[in-house]
């Protein structure tokens, strides 16, 4: 691997307020940055829903993400979104239509006082970016992104 390729895969996420992704009238409740992340060395298999569970609530999902070394700040999501705009695959091809990827390190409060976080889901042509309400249940198709070990 050449130096230029290696450098292009390293990102340092920025604060949510610096991403231009926080909707108007929303506020940032939690914003835990990852530090430097190597996009070429990520694990996409971590599921917050454990064996025997059919669904978990948002608080349980956040607790499990905090206990793991997951990526997923809004700054990280912005970097993934930009990489996709530049023609890069940002998630495994085999996850298309199968998994949603959660970004739990940043929690926003929307204009109706609901807690939300970013997620990516396959739209049929690309990975769509949206904000999901933490009041929803999280199913076994959800995944965390974390550094590969």
- Break the chain into its structural domains and give their ranges: 3-147
SS3 63: helix
For residue 11, list its beta bridge partners. Answer: 37
Maximum pairwise Cα distance, the chain: 48
DSSP per-residue letters across 1-16: --HHHHHHHEE-PPPG
Alpha helices in the chain (DSSP H): 3-9, 58-67, 74-85
The set of long-range contacts for 46-52, using a CB threshold of 8 Å and a minimum separation of 24, is: 46/70, 46/143, 46/144, 46/145, 46/146, 47/140, 47/142, 47/143, 47/144, 48/102, 48/138, 48/142, 48/144, 49/138, 49/139, 49/140, 49/142
Is residue 105 within 8 Å of residue 70, measured between CB atoms? yes
0.85 surpassed by pTM: yes
Is residue 90 within 8 Å of residue 78, measured between CB atoms? no
pLDDT above 50: residue 89: yes
Q: For the segment 24-73, what is each residue's pLDDT rounded down to a tens digit? A: 999 999 999 999 999 889 999 999 999 999 999 999 999 999 998 899 99
Confidence of residue 1 (pLDDT cuts 50, 70, 90): very low
């Amino acid at each position: 691997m050449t130096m230029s390729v290696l450098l292009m895969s390293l990102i340092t996420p920025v604060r949510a307020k610096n991403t231009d992704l926080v909707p108007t009238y929303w506020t940032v409740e939690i914003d835990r940055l990852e530090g430097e992340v190597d996009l070429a060395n990520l694990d996409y298999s971590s599921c917050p829903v454990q064996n025997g569970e059919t669904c978990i609530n948002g608080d349980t999902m956040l607790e499990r993400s905090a206990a793991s070394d997951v990526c997923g700040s809004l700054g990280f999501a912005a970097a993934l979104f930009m990489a996709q705009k530049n023609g890069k695959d940002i998630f495994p091809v085999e996850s298309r239509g199968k998994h949603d990827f959660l970004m739990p390190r940043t929690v926003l409060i929307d204009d109706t006082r609901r807690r939300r976080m970013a997620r990516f889901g396959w739209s049929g042509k690309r990975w769509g970016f949206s904000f999901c309400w933490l009041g929803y249940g999280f199913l076994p198709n959800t995944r965390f992104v974390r550094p590969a070990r």
